[in-house]
Amino acid sequence: MATDPVTPQAPAGPGARREWPLWEVFVRSRSGLDHRHCGSVHAPDARLALQLARDVYTRRQEGVSLWVVRADDIVASDPDAKPELFDPAADKIYRHPTFYVLPPEVDHM
């Protein structure tokens, strides 16, 4: 059976601690910039995840906007698949747009 490599399995059984779920936190540092991943918080639900992300990650003026997303909902690539996913790109320098001479009109694009 193929197991999903990215979804952490909650500990089962009567002795298992029920932890709050993990939320990944994305902060936009200034208007116009992208939201950037900056860390994670444990929180019981979305509203408190936003509040706790605010308290943990923006207390020194780091942000103007926050996203939180359940870590469980992120589908990630398998770290063990790195050789077939990413290594083949290493020797294909022709994929970099460095072999074209740009006309001067677009120099400052």
Partner 1 sequence: MDAVTTTPALDAASLLRLGDNALILGQRLSELCGHGPVLEEDIATTNIALDLIGQARLLLALAGQREGRGRDEDALAFLRDAADFRNVTLVELPNGDFAQVMLRVFLMSSFQVLAWEALSGSNDADVAGIAVRSVKEARYHAEHSGEWVIRLGDGTDASRARMLAALDALWPYTAELFVDDAVDAAAAAAGTGVVWASLQPTWRQRVEPVLAEATLPVPAATPFRSRGRFGVHSEHLGHLLAGMQQLHRAHPGATW
Instruction: Copy the structure tokens of residue 16.
Output: 């298992």
Report d(CA 26, CA 63) in Å as an integer: 9
Our separate counts of H helices and E strands in the chain read 2, 3
Q: Is 44 in the site for partner 1 (CB under 8 A)?
A: yes
Instruction: Copy the structure tokens of residue 73.
Output: 């909902």
Q: Is 51 in the site for partner 1 (CB under 8 A)?
A: yes
Nearest-approach distance from CB 36 to partner 1, in angstroms:
19
Q: Which is nearer to partner 1, 27 or 41 (CB)?
A: 41
Q: Which residues bind partner 1 (CB under 8 A)?
A: 20, 41-45, 47-48, 51-52, 55-56, 59
